[in-house]
Amino acid sequence: MRLWIKDPLAILAFGAERGVVVEDGRIAELVGRGATPGRPVDKTFDAGRHVIIPGLINTHHHFFQTLTRAHPEGINKELFPWLEALYPIWARNVTPEGFRLATRLSLTELLLSGCTCVSDHHYLFPAGLEDAMDVQAEEAERLGIRMTLTRGSMNLSIKDGGLPPDTVVQDEDTILADCERILSRYHDPDEGAMLQVALAPCAPFTVTKRLMVDTVGLAERFDCKLHTHLAETHDEDEYCLSHFGCRPLDYLEECGWLSDRVWLAHGIHFNDQEVRRLGRHHVGVCHCPTSNMTLASGQCRTKELEEAGSPVGLGVDGSASNDNSNLMESVRHALMINRLTYDAATVTPLDAFRWATEGSARCLGRTDVGAIAAGMQADLAFYTLDELRFSGAHDPIAALVMCGAYAADRVMIAGKWQVEDGMPIGVDVDRLRFEHGEAARRFLETF
């Protein structure tokens, strides 16, 4: 079926003033000003109320943390004290049922904000949660959302000089065996893939050097992406200098991680020379503005990284350091914090959208999503400007960011509607809110 998405209020694409034609899950044609589709269409969708952008792409998250939003033990702390407070609570309370609900809720939240492709860095594996990646694959398929299953890992606990409790880490053989299982089962390298896999040792202070090195070998064998946290805080700098005798990026290079296979979460505390090294190797960086402000971690050097050659994407980060899973809100936060870092003239709404779409797609190694162009996957987010907050707005694209859009009216993924009239298809939102809320109660009752 050929569907003409006709005459949008505005669209974030060049030469598509009259919309796009979708066919077989792809964008088949852009319809320019004064034009009509080149071939007959089977159906028309009137987009006259909608501002259309490429589906947003979230490149860093921790779904399980939705169970500890605004937790009294975690608020008003910076990263290391925050982790030390919450690790024991997570270790005692994350159950398979709670994890499934957290995954379902996070994916639904992201979808409602306009996300069409997501990555969740899951690194917590207490007893009973060994099939966490399978749960996430099932929930992503259920919602019809694209996902990179980002198999995290930790094998360095408190007794070894790391931060996490002993009960949530795994040994290296167990980790690598499950990584290989997940890659063999779910990693689809083809264009239009709904599921892909990345390997993601958590951070320098939670994994051994051997695991970092061996993970590279596995990623090369399966040709998948690599991900980890790096340079998020000055505490991390001090940890690496104390334990490894070098800065975090030097340690990363020693482990064989400086390549275009890698994207990093946060990437805040890099000096000029390190920014150039990252760019030279085309290492991606996921900018997490909301989390960085919440934990007072610092300000990512987005402009310098892009100028050096590094892809810059966008992520909401964990829902206990962000406290929501709304990437459209993070688009606005990215604009604001980067204007504070640089200036108001050279950081525009288009920059923030680029990080959340094209930049994020490059971080995940995808060339089939992240833009509205002929041949790309039909992943689109539709917003209305009907609310009071938009009254008087003259530039519809800029208004989404400047006036604070946070919920999509419609979302299309691979040519299929997954959100209609602001509601996710096939999800009982009230039931999900109740069940997730009940699961979260135990995290407060037992701390």
pLDDT of residue 447: 55
Q: Residue 67 carries which DSSP code? A: G
Which tokens sit at 26?
């792809």
Given pLDDT bands bounded at 50, 70 and 90, which one contains residue 320?
confident
Per-residue pLDDT tens digits for 339-361:
999 999 999 999 999 999 999 99
Distances (CA, A) of 161 to 155, 157, 171, 208: 11, 6, 15, 10
pLDDT of residue 214: 98
Domain boundaries, the chain: 2-54+376-422, 56-363
Above pLDDT 90, what percent of the chain?
96
Topology of the domain comprising 2-54+376-422: Urease, subunit C; domain 1 (2.30.40)
pLDDT of residue 129: 96
Per-residue pLDDT tens digits for 93-125:
999 999 999 999 999 999 999 999 999 999 999
Per-residue pLDDT tens digits for 407-438:
999 999 999 999 999 999 999 999 999 999 99
Does residue 156 surpass a pLDDT of 60? yes
pLDDT of residue 446: 62
Q: What are the DSSP calls for 292-353, one per residue?
A: HHHTT-----HHHHHHHT--EEE----TTTTSS--HHHHHHHHHHHHHHHS-SSS--HHHHH
Average pLDDT over residues 6-24: 98
Please report the sign of the dihedral spanned by the C-alpha atoms of residue 142, residue 53, residue 362, residue 368. Answer: positive
At 307, the amino acid letter reads E
Per-residue pLDDT tens digits for 229-248:
999 999 999 999 999 999 99
Above pLDDT 70, what percent of the chain?
100
**Is the pTM above the cut of 0.95?**
yes
Rounded CA separation 320/305 (Å): 27
Same topology for domains 2-54+376-422 and 56-363, yes or no?
Answer: no
Alpha helices for 59-95 (secondary structure H): 79-93
Does residue 180 surpass a pLDDT of 80? yes
Domain boundaries 56-363, CATH class: alpha beta
Per-residue pLDDT tens digits for 26-58:
999 999 999 999 999 999 999 999 999 999 999
pLDDT of residue 445: 75
Per-residue pLDDT tens digits for 245-297:
999 999 999 999 999 999 999 999 999 999 999 999 999 999 999 999 999 99
CA 136 to chain centre: 14
Mean pLDDT (the chain) is 97
